[in-house]
Chain A
Amino acid sequence: MSIIETYRPQHTRLLLFQALIAAMLLVLAGGLAYRQIIQYGNYGERERLQNQRRVLVPGPRGNIYDRDNRLLVGNRSRFAVTLFLDELRREFRREYIEVVRHYRESETSGDITRSDRPSPAQFEQIARAQVVQRYLDQINRLLSRDEKVDMRELNRHFQQQLLLPYILLDDLKPEEFARLIEQLPVQSPLQVYTSSTRYYPNGSTAAHVLGYVRTTDEVSGDDMSGEDLKTFAFKGTAGRDGLELQYDPLLQGETGSAIYRVDPAGFRVNPPLEKHAPHQGERLDITLDLDLQVAAEKAIDQFETLKGAAVALDVRTGEVLVLASKPDYDLNEFSPRLSTAAAQKIHETGAWTDLAIAGVYPPGSTFKLITAIAGLRSGLITPDGFTADCEGTMRIGNRTFYCDKSPGGYQRHGIIAFREAIAQSCDIYFYTVGIKIGPEAMAAEARRFHLDQPTGIDLPYEVRRMLIPDPAWKKRVRDEAWFAGDTANMAIGQGDVGVTPMDMACFVASLARGETTTRPTLLHDPHRARQHTEPIGLTPAQFAAIVDGMEGCTINGTAKIFATPTYGIPGLRIAGKTGTAQTTRDGNKINIAWFVCFAPVENPQIAIAVAIEGDTPGESFAGGHYAAPVAQAVLKAWFEKSQHPAASPGSAAAN
């Protein structure tokens, strides 16, 4: 008889015991089912969050091209040699044992005491640094360098960015990159890594317009999968000035991502569970004409230490052809990052400021065009019927005002009419007109041309402190009365009047079209329609008289430099107006040379405003001598291109 046959399951106490066991098993099974079926999703999610990591790779920024499709801002490849630390787990462990053994031996031999012994965490750091240094030595041998591991940086990377490759050497030359490509084994933990950085093929050209970027840790990955996972991101870039800032959302590349499973120590397990490649940002076609921009900047540079700005607009569309500001800076110095010394130099030279949109100057005699328009529209003067007697001085209130006072004396124009007064920039004539029509009429006219407002150009940091004063303003702000002398000053663009070169360029473009508003833009559209705004409100004869006066300015007036063989542009009729204004800086009077113009007179296409700051207090600084040559350089380049359109580079640099 076997043992099984003697077993008696009918025993009551045994049945009770079995029922108890069954109940307990049922509870266990229920608990298991609860966790495995009902709580499955919850645990799965917790496992996912614990075991998966997301890596974000920012996409390269979009390129910026000029109106002729020439590259102004692009990306250059940046080569680095990196080490994937997750592939070195075994080496770290072996080195750790070796380092600990070495310290123990040193303790035994009495070379070090127990108190000198590092903590386990320090042992780990030493071991890691030694392993990484061994790999760096391989690179040193291949590239004939002598680089050392930065232990602090390595530890920071290990603790915060373990999933990202550790950069051993950055910004390698193409030859170094090629040497490593050939000599590093394909399966090595050492790999050549490529990223992009901003590249400015024209250096400092249009620096203020293009702007610059800075590296940032904020890389957008909001709309990508794995948003709730712990995320590691490569450094991205963000626009900080100019178009890089203005159109940052457009230029930003589309971020790429990869989701990896990690082991309990946080090391990556290849291959990624999910991967999306980064995409380059949108291209930006801007309105600048590189040839004209270079011509303007070279012309300003000829004055070496002088500051200044030049703006040229397409009269029909308001597209900005030139926006130059000096001093400036080499944009390549910002890439990949601006050094402290370079930043200091920019600060000292005052190159941070874009004088074209942030330099507020009294417009000087260029404002006489506003006075003239206000006078004509008021009906108090006529182009042919109103004259003034310029004896060189004029008593206004209890002050004597001069006509074009300079160290050499002052001008005496005699009996002078409207057209000649504009051409010769006769102050006495415009004092007379100003006093005749009053400050409110001049201010209203200037405001009609929006000279008291920012132009709204698509650039950041355009100033809002331009000013068109009037008696009410003076009373409100300074609690002072308005005097006749203020009116005289205002009539010739002096006193408290303050505008930017961009304001004046818009004004001249509007004048050229016979309208009052020009909205400047830097976004190029080859099919952009002509702007139509409020008409200037002059009769054709009045308008023609102003244009005649402006053309006379470039033929035999204050800008007769255009009639000389050196600066003349045969075949191009130019309507211009010079200006010389004074402003106070650090207690010294500084002159500002102005020149505004449009051309060709018969069919205006380009409008220009130039302002050049003097650097010597009290120096005679006429617009015809300093600002007009800059405008001439731009006009010459424009005229040559318009005469020989096939000579323009076109799409030579098309991507």
Chain B
Amino acid sequence: MSFKRFDQTKPFITLGIIVLAWLLLPVAVKSFLRVTFFELQAPVQVTASYVRNLQDFWADRTHSKDELIEAARELRHVYAGYEFQAQQTEAQQAEIARLEQLLRLPSNPNFRFEQARVCRRDLSGWWQQLTIRKGSNYDLPVGAPVVYSGGVVGRVREVRAYEADVDLVSSPRLRLAANFENDTHPVSYQGGINPPLAPARGLVEFVPPDIVIYSSAPRRLVTSGLGEFPPGLTIGYVARLETSTDGLFQSGEVSLDPRLTELTEVTVLVPQQPD
């Protein structure tokens, strides 16, 4: 009878021993186990991502030739526009380089652009992050800015061998120095507490009282260039500001681009040393 009772408590004792062993394990071992877990998990996620790409590929194949021709035609227009802009940019960069040389100015730090596919999105109430399919194998550093065509995506938080986690601009763990378009006052932007499936929002703080925003004409909030992000990248739009009770600053909600939740490809700006 007593043997049977002891036999029933075995799982609890085992659990207790495991918990105790985990608590007693050295920090280095725990850290190693954690990293190993994520590194082993990475191929699964990357494979799943490739499978999704394949799925998309076969889905695209279901389109008719007419549809594809039409899409290619539209793409040609867009491509022509971009080609023209690229030429302009090239000419401007050459002019900037000439002026820098003429005035003996140090060259602005440049970025290496690293395009990466999104292999996982975690947009829960607690986490607002993406996992991208590139990591230290592409020399991505922690803290590198991540952008897309609509502006800021976020910042690289953790880099592993083949993938990296990116804190989204909607995450409360991400804080940026920003300013309003056509204004130089630095303000603080921080991601908000965003429930799942709701439009993502952030919070702008320390806005000087002389900045006025009308709800009929929301103002664009952009990066200030005072941190890791280059200046002028769109963070979001602010439609209303409220003055704090002490009258020193205003604060308001920032509406973020809904495309952030559907990103499939992003660009990591890897800072390079000045020339």
Let me know if B190 is at the binding interface, CB within 8 A. Answer: yes
- Binding stretch for chain A, among B96-104, B129-137, B173-181: B173-181
- The answer to whether A277 and B177 touch (CB under 8 A), given A174-B185, A178-B224, is no
B247 contacts the other chain (CB 8 A):
yes
A182 touching B245 by the CB < 8 A rule?
A: no
* A182–B176 alpha-carbon span in the complex (Å): 4
Interface of A is mostly: mixed
A76 (CB) vs chain B CBs: closest residue: B248
CB contacts between A and B, total, < 8 Å: 74
Interface residues of A in 152-189 (CB under 8 A from B): 174-175, 177-179, 181-184, 186-187
Cα-based distance from A196 to B188 in the complex (angstroms):
17
Q: Find chain A residues with CB under 8 A from B195 CB.
A: none
Q: Decide if B206 is an interface residue (CB 8 Å cutoff).
A: yes
Q: How far is the CA of A63 from the CA of B185 in the complex (A)?
A: 21
CB within 8 Å for A175 and B186 given contacts A186-B172, A194-B206, A655-B209: yes
Residue of B nearest to A175 (CB): B226
Contact A174 B186 (CB under 8 A): yes
The answer to whether B226 touches A179 (Cβ under 8 A) is yes
Q: CB distance A182 to B206 under 8 Å?
A: no
B125 within 8 A of A: no
* Count of residues in B whose CB is under 8 Å from the partner chain: 24
Q: How large is the interface on A (under 10, 10 to 19, 20 to 34, 35 or more residues)?
A: 20 to 34
B227–A182 CB distance below 8 A: yes
Q: Is the CB of A181 within 8 A of B247?
A: no
Do B246 and A59 have beta carbons less than 8 Å apart?
yes
CB distance from B233 to the nearest CB of A (A): 13
Q: How far is the CA of A194 from the CA of B185 in the complex (A)?
A: 15
- Measured between beta carbons, the chain A residues less than 8 angstroms from B185 are 174
Give the nearest-CB partner of A174 in chain B.
B186
What's the nearest-Cβ distance from chain A to residue B224, in Å?
6
Q: Are B226 and A278 in contact (CB under 8 A)?
A: no
A178-B227, A181-B177 known; A196+B248 contact, CB < 8 A: yes
Which residues of chain A are within 8 angstroms of B246 by Cβ–Cβ distance?
Answer: 59-60, 196, 253, 256, 277-280
Per-residue 0/1 for A578-614: is the Cβ within 8 Å of any B Cβ (1 yes, 0 no)?
A: 0000000000000000000000000000000000000
In this complex, what residue of A is CB-closest to B249?
A77
A280 touches B175 (CB 8 A): no
Other contacts beyond A178-B188, A179-B227, A655-B209: 15, CB < 8 A? A59-B245, A60-B248, A178-B186, A181-B177, A182-B224, A182-B228, A186-B172, A186-B173, A196-B246, A277-B244, A277-B246, A278-B245, A279-B245, A280-B246, A655-B247
Interface residues of A (CB under 8 A from B): 59-60, 63, 75, 77, 174-175, 177-179, 181-184, 186-187, 192, 194, 196, 253, 256, 277-280, 655
The contact sample of 12 A-B pairs, CB cut-off 8 A, is A60-B247, A77-B248, A178-B186, A179-B226, A181-B188, A182-B224, A182-B226, A186-B173, A186-B190, A278-B245, A279-B247, A655-B209
